[in-house]
Amino acid sequence: MEREIVTSYEPKKNSEIRMFESSDEMATDLAEYISQVSEISVKERGYFAIALSGGPLVSFMRKLCEAPYNKTLDWSKWYIFWTDERAVAKNHVDSNYKLTKEGFLSKVPILNGHVYSINDNATVEDAATDYEFVIRQLVKIRTVGVSESNDCPKFDLILLSIGSDGHIASLFPHHPALELKDDWITYITDSPEPPPERITFTLPVINSAANIAVVATGEDKAKAVYFAISDGAEGPDAPSVPARMVQPTDGKLVWFLDKASASFLEAKNDACQDPEY
């Protein structure tokens, strides 16, 4: 498998950029990455707490449902959470739970009691409050770890995808939710993408994870990826890209990019071989 480590840009501390020729290569490498993180977490803590976002991300986890991972991973130690969810019924087409259930959970032997979905019978405000309460209880008993730097949960792995506007989870550009410091979970009622009502992890929780992976595919993500990653990014959009605010406190960040989503990075680098890059 050909995997190119992008060396055109000096990676930030504790971060790595991986670029792939095809979606199949990306899925293969992502499966191995998740497998390694899960095995280390189970060995060190006895649990593996992973939080997922929606979108196309779940399809890139498909290799975990195949040999050897479906037989070798200790699925009984996996605990599943969502970084964000739409305020819709679990069987609704927009539900991240439904997407994950059909594309991943139904194909691996993760215990039902270890799957922590959002309450779809509550208002979006109550659902956010309930989800934070559940996670706080799991942090108390250390099923979910706790950050050494703050009292935030320390998920073993948070898997994110990036939107064409640079949003991650349901944290959108210029939204007040980006400024929250004390809440673990919040809700929004004005998402610029439908459906409008969602709950989401806050940035302090995302940045407290032991490992964060951001998956980006497609040319429509290229500009957002560039603004999120490059120190040479210029323009008024750069500081407002939420993905740029993903900066692990103590953990490690890995970007998984296909050629199309990395195209703006490469084009800018080819056009300007500046010593500062």
The conformation of residue 26, written as its DSSP 8-state character, comes to H
Name the residue with higher pLDDT: 21 or 12: 21
Predicted pLDDT of residue 274: 41
**CA 79 vs CA 94, 140, 166: distances in Å:** 22, 15, 27
Domain membership flag for residue 5: no
Conformational region of residue 24, where left means phi above 0, alpha means psi within -120 to 50, and beta covers everything else: alpha
Strand partners, 86: 198
Give the model confidence (pLDDT) of 99-116 as tens digits: 999 999 999 999 999 999
Range of the domain at 157: 16-267
Is residue 6 pLDDT above 70, yes or no?
no
Lowest mean pLDDT across 44-48, 172-176, 265-269: 265-269
**Among candidate residues 36, 23, 25, 17, the one with its CA nearest the CA of residue 226:** 17
pLDDT, tens digit, for every residue of 206-216? 999 999 999 99
Q: Is residue 3 part of a domain?
A: no
- Residue 237's pLDDT is 54
Across residues 74-103, what is the average pLDDT? 97
Confidence of residue 273 (pLDDT cuts 50, 70, 90): very low
In sequence order, the β-bridge partners of residue 17 are 255
In this structure, is residue 6 part of a structural domain? no
Mean pLDDT for the stretch of residues 86-106: 96
In a domain, residue 9? The reply is no
What pLDDT shows up at residue 12?
A: 65
> At 129, which CATH number?
3.40.50.1360
DSSP lists the bridge partners of residue 89 as: none
Residue 21 tokens read as 């020729």
Q: State the pLDDT at residue 266.
A: 74
Q: Structural domain tally of the chain?
A: 1
Note if the pTM is more than 0.75.
yes
Q: What percent of the chain has pLDDT over 70?
A: 88
CA distance 253 to 209: 9
Whether the Cβ atoms of residue 5 and residue 18 lie closer than 8 Å to each other? yes
Residue 4 predicted with pLDDT over 60: no
Domain contains 7: no
- More confident call, 270 vs 125: 125
pLDDT interval class at 56 (50, 70, 90): confident
Residue 86 has pLDDT above 90, yes or no: yes
What is the model's pLDDT at position 124? Answer: 97
Is the pLDDT assigned to residue 136 strictly greater than 70?
Answer: yes
- Measuring CA to CA, which residue among 6, 9, 2 is closest to residue 273? 9
Residue 81 to residues 94, 157, 240, Cα–Cα distance (Å): 17, 10, 26
Residue 274 resides in a domain: no
